[in-house]
Amino acid sequence: MMYSMTGYGRSIATIDERELTVEMKSVNHRYLDMTVHLPKSLMYLEEPVKQIIKSYVSRGKIYLMTDEDSTSLSAQSLKTNWALLKQYIDQLEQMSDRYGIDKQLTYQDLLQLDDLFYVSDEPVDRELINDHIFQAVHEACEQLVNMRQSEGMNLADDLAMRVKQLNTTIQRLEEHAPMVAEVYQEKLDKRIREYLEDVDVDEGRLLNEVAFFSDKSNIDEEITRLKSHIKQFFDIMKEHGPKGRKLDFLIQEMNREINTIGSKAGDVTISQYVVDIKSDIEKLREQVQNVE
């Protein structure tokens, strides 16, 4: 099974009627790189959350975000400072006794008193928070992996098609390669006879020159290695687990071989095949960059 490094997942943790949205997205990256954004009250969960992500993915740039602005994970309640209220009342009674001031109080009066009311944050049970957050992260990871798997299936089909196309071009190159020495011999013989006209040509030296050219321009080894790389490519695609780095390395080796063939090419047709193959390899490389 092949997995892409592109994916998205989302889940909601419901904690005592309060909700925390967990969103994840991933893009291609050479290694596994995780960025986790949690509310300040949940920063202690960053490392355990990363460990959960590692259990699902092994490569890619992973972003985990939470909808912290719209969520409070603490139970807020309005409290009254009863001791302070008693002091206010005691002071008002003293003022009434001393100066005969009416001591009736209204709710409006009480609201004007500083520090009489305050909001208390009572944290939700930490174990309960952990369980719900971890469950949400697992669910988001599962969605992310499912999307990466779906994208990976499409990638596998596309890569298989491109490698088969590449293999066809290499076969045509292989079929044409033996003709290069023959064409060279014909051209060389023709030129020598045109220059020397009636002078006899030393067939032995001519054959030596052709043999030297043939050896210098021989691409049999490069073609053999290219075909071997293609077989390995298909074998790796059938393997379990991450395979992007292996495929990327193979593509580098393919590119190395075709560059060598290009440097040896003394034939227009082979040069055209080299251009076509390099184009196919580059398209493969671009696609493999997305494989986990």
Q: What is the pLDDT of residues 137-185, one digit of tens each?
A: 999 999 999 999 999 999 999 999 999 999 999 999 888 887 766 665 5
Which range in 3-12, 16-25, 78-87 is most confidently predicted, on average pLDDT?
3-12
Q: What is the pLDDT of residues 23-62, one digit of tens each?
A: 999 999 989 999 999 887 788 899 999 999 999 999 999 9
Give the DSSP H/E element, type plus range, for residue 208. Answer: helix 203-216
Q: Give the CA angle between residues 194, 198, 199 to the nearest 5°.
A: 95
Q: In Å, what is the CA distance from 205 to each residue of 181, 200, 257?
A: 15, 12, 32
Burial of 93 (0-12, 13-18, 19+ CB in 10 A): exposed
pLDDT at 236: 94
Query: Can you read off the two tokens belonging to residue 268?
Result: 């227009």
pTM above 0.85, yes or no: no
Residue 193 has pLDDT above 60, yes or no: no
Indicate the average pLDDT of the chain.
84
d(CA 126, CA 73): 10
Asked whether the beta carbons of 105 and 92 are under 8 A apart, the reply is yes
Among 165, 162, 166, 208, smallest CA distance to 185 is for 208
By mean pLDDT, which of 12-16, 186-190, 261-265 is the weakest?
Answer: 186-190
Give the DSSP H/E element, type plus range, for residue 15. Answer: strand 7-15
Q: Are strands 32-36 and 60-66 parallel, antiparallel or unpaired?
A: parallel
